[in-house]
Structure 1
Amino acid sequence: MPSGLSTSWLLWALLSAAFAALTAIFAKVGVANIHSDLATLLRTIIILALVATMVWAGGAWQPPAEIPTRTWIFLTLSGVATGASWLCYFRALKLGDAARVAPVDKLSVVLVAIFGIVFLGERLSALATLGVVLIAAGAALVALG
């Protein structure tokens, strides 16, 4: 297995955070003059084209029949959850300030920690638990401030 920066989960997580931040700013401007659901659809079409291009160019395609049923079930559930999240996120951006909406949306970090513990049997150290509590407190302060 290759090692180094390109296989570092931390690098990819930081890039994800940076792109998520840009998503909030670009979406806030983009949703200003259209319905939030239409904005979500347009963004989804763009994402589909981008990811399809990456799968094709990277040689990552495999026949759908070769994908296990369990994988299909959980990717379908993930897709439904993502769609619902995006619809809610764009509606929130349409109605509120990006600087307040995005931190509240990041309560997903807190929920992932809780769901990971409850459903996946993951464990958090005391320090990680403190971090999750502080994320929740920070989101609450930004939302109420």
Structure 2
Amino acid sequence: MLFLLLSGVATRLSWLFYYRALRMAPASMVAPIDKLSVVFAIVLAMVFLGEPLTLRLAAGAALGVAGILVLAWPVGT
């Protein structure tokens, strides 16, 4: 039950920080950083939880990073 409560608090703080970042910078800069959270979760799961790195997981992470790079790439270059 404690972990559910802590997860809810962390989620709420995450959204508050996300909205604050959107007020300070354009969405085209904030969104790619936000989407990196999936890649960070994969890395943290591997480091702290011993999640095995499978081909499927590596491909998913690589595709996620590729999509983030596409989003972050400046238009017109």
Scaled by the length of structure 2, the TM-score of the pair is 0.70
In structure 1, what is the Cα distance between the partners aligned to 2:72 and 2:20?
16
Contact 1:101 1:143 in 2 (8 A): no
Q: Percent identity?
A: 49
Between structure 1 and structure 2, the one with the greater Rg is 1
Deviation at 1:86, TM superposition (A): 0.9
> Runs of 4 or more off by more than 6 Å in structure 1?
none
CA distance in structure 2 between the aligned counterparts of 1:92 and 1:144, rounded to whole angstroms = 19
CA RMSD of aligned residues (A): 2.2
Instruction: Find the counterpart in structure 2 of residue 115 from structure 1.
Output: 44
Q: 1:104, 1:110 → 2: CA distance?
A: 10
User: Is residue 104 of structure 1 aligned with residue 33 of structure 2?
Assistant: yes
The unaligned stretches of length 5 or more in structure 2 are: none
Greater mean deviation of Cα atoms: 72-81 or 115-124: 115-124
Shift of 1:102: 2.0
- Using the size of structure 1 for normalisation, the TM-score is 0.42
Point out where structure 1 has 5 or more consecutive residues left out of the alignment: 1-71
| Residue of structure 2 equivalent to 1:25 | none
